[in-house]
Amino acid sequence: MPTLRAAAILTIFLLVTLILIPFQWLGVTLGLGYARSFPHRYHRFVAKLFGIHIRSLGPLPRQSVLLLANHTGWLDIVIFSALAPLSFVAKSEVGTWPFFGTLARLQRTVFVERSRRSQTGESRDAIAARLAKGDILVLFPEGTSSDGNIVLPFKSALLSAAETVLADGHHVRVQPVSTAYFGSHGIPMGREGRPFYAWYGAMELVPHLWEALKAGPLDVVVQFHEPLSLDAMDRKELARKAERVIRQGQAAALAGLA
């Protein structure tokens, strides 16, 4: 049964996605208004199709917000996008991936060159320009994904985009967000179960997608914490505070306290 379920889900996902790609491509290419919100509606469908049950806590972002979140893998893209119309900040390699790179570009992802320090300024400016236009962007400051049981140390370099001053005279708001994969099939999940859903290390994407679908429904807690700003602290202090808040939020959710 798990194999049949996974095959049916994957077939529907591919058919629907291939049908909708030209529609979103047209919107992005022509700069049509729906191109920003359509991925949100699409990922709400994908979350239901995959059996991802999301419990959202705290104030949802509205506009000109840089979301900082812990990263557990490709499922985070579905989860966050199902909650709000937003885009992501991703390493440039993602844009070259077959199929999934196309989906990332159609979600208006901001691609950055993380391995070259000389490109940090350009990446910062690209992020800042999108935030100034009112976009919501998700940045994973760990720089990689984990097994879902811990939060890795944050890198603060790209947080320089938060130094952007908006029309109201204040810096861009930075909102920490903690995610926790806490259950499967409605039952609390232990440490050993999360790697079935977490995509990290040297895992191949497509085989992991297949195994995650076979593993069955997933229960997730996403907690939006109080926004931070460089109005009151410097960039490194902001990164430390966001990391601490997110680590505490994930630990509380995994312990069943959120």
Tens digits of residue pLDDT in 23-79: 999 999 999 999 999 999 999 999 999 999 999 999 888 888 999 999 999 999 999
Query: If you write DSSP's letter for every residue of 15-36 in order, what string do you get?
Result: HHHHHHHHHHHHHHHHT-THHH
Could you give phi then psi for residue 252, rounded to 5 degrees? -65, -40
Instruction: Flag whether pLDDT at 116 surpasses 70.
Output: no
**What residues make up the domain containing 230?**
2-254
pTM of the model: 0.93
pLDDT (tens digit per residue) in 65-85 = 999 999 999 999 999 999 999
Higher pLDDT, residue 219 or 234: 219
Helices 2-30 + 34-50 axis angle, to 10: 180
CB < 8 Å & 24+ apart, contacts of 182-186: 182/219, 182/220, 182/221, 182/253, 182/254, 182/256, 183/218, 183/219, 184/215, 184/216, 184/217, 184/218, 184/219, 185/216, 185/217, 186/53, 186/217, 186/219
pLDDT classification of 132: cutoffs 50, 70, 90: confident
Query: What is the mean predicted confidence (pLDDT) over 77-102?
Result: 94
> Which pLDDT does position 222 carry in this prediction?
98
Interior/surface letters 191-211, b for 16+ CB within 10 angstroms, e for the rest: eebbbbbbbbeeeeeeebbeb
Structural domain count, the chain: 1
Across 32-36, 85-89, 107-111, 232-236, least confident range: 232-236
| Rg over CA atoms, the chain | 18
Among 5, 24, 6, which residue's Cα sits nearest to residue 16?
24
Q: Residue 164 belongs to a domain with what CATH number?
A: 3.40.1130
pLDDT at position 119, please?
A: 62
192's CB contacts (< 8 A; 6+ apart) are none
pLDDT computed for residue 118 by the predictor: 55
The reported pLDDT for the residue numbered 61 is: 86
Integer Cα distance of 210 and 119 in angstroms? 35
The pLDDT assigned to 220 comes to 97
- Condensed to tens digits (0 to 9), the pLDDT of residues 154-209 reads 988 778 777 777 767 777 889 999 999 999 998 999 888 998 999 988 889 999 99
Q: What is the DSSP letter of 148?
A: S
Q: What is the pLDDT of residue 248?
A: 96
pLDDT average, residue stretch 100-115: 90
Residue range 90-105: mean pLDDT, rounded = 92
